[in-house]
Amino acid sequence: RYYILSYTSHTKSLDFSWKAFMNKVNSELVGNFGNFAYRTLLLTYRNYGEIPVADIELEVKERIQLLVSKIEDFLFNYEFKKLIDEIMALSSWGNGYLQKKEPWKQVRRAPEEAKRTLRTCLQILKAMSILMEPVMPIKMEELWRQLGQDGTVEKAPIDEAVREIEEGRKIPKPKPLFKPLTEEEVRKLEEVLKSRVDKSGPGGT
């Protein structure tokens, strides 16, 4: 679903390719979103075991607020690609922020700043879990649970993405959200698809 919706707008046809699918999954879901989520959650879990008590960067709150304000227009106009692009841009920003701040070093030299960095990143992940839920409901529910949130992400209102993630909430030991696709796995998927197409052709059942 992510690949289809993020690949092209609703006004253009989709030219599906397993190779492109693999590259998109590995670069965007694994390398961008998944990497950001796992690093943030693992650093938080190892150092605090809970959402740290700290302020959230104002710029992040403003970015999320702006994104939420665009959601209705994106959905009304079926602009799912634009929606996903904006959400993934937030993840890219978070990755850059995490790399720049280096909370693994801040923990020792500036512990309060480390808490601020990680709570800011956790806020991004909370927002992403809500905004990306229609696209990847199972994975976003998994992320919601890893963030230690109550209820289900499916029932969380859009404006919950703007509300600050609760301090002191316990989080479980994180697991990677996505795993990389290998060329061997893609080859097998191509064979399965070809077999099904052959069976559905003339003389197939």
- Chain segment 39-72, per-residue pLDDT in tens: 999 999 999 999 999 999 999 999 999 999 998 8
- Chain segment 86-136, per-residue pLDDT in tens: 999 999 999 999 999 999 999 999 999 999 999 999 999 999 999 999 888
Q: Is 133 contained in some domain?
A: yes
Q: Is 189 contained in some domain?
A: no
Model confidence, pTM = 0.85
Q: Is 197 contained in some domain?
A: no
When divided into structural domains, the chain yields a total of: 1
Q: Is 136 contained in some domain?
A: yes
- Chain segment 16-33, per-residue pLDDT in tens: 676 777 777 777 888 899
Instruction: Give strand pairing partners of 110.
Output: none
Q: Is 52 contained in some domain?
A: yes
| CATH number where 108 lies | 1.10.730.10
Question: 26: domain range?
Answer: 2-8+22-179
Burial 142-174 (b: 16+ CB within 10 A, else e): bbbebbbbeeebeebeeebbbeebeeeeebeeb
Q: Is 193 contained in some domain?
A: no
Q: Is 161 contained in some domain?
A: yes
As a whole number of angstroms, the distance between CA 6 and CA 172 comes to 30
Q: Is 37 contained in some domain?
A: yes
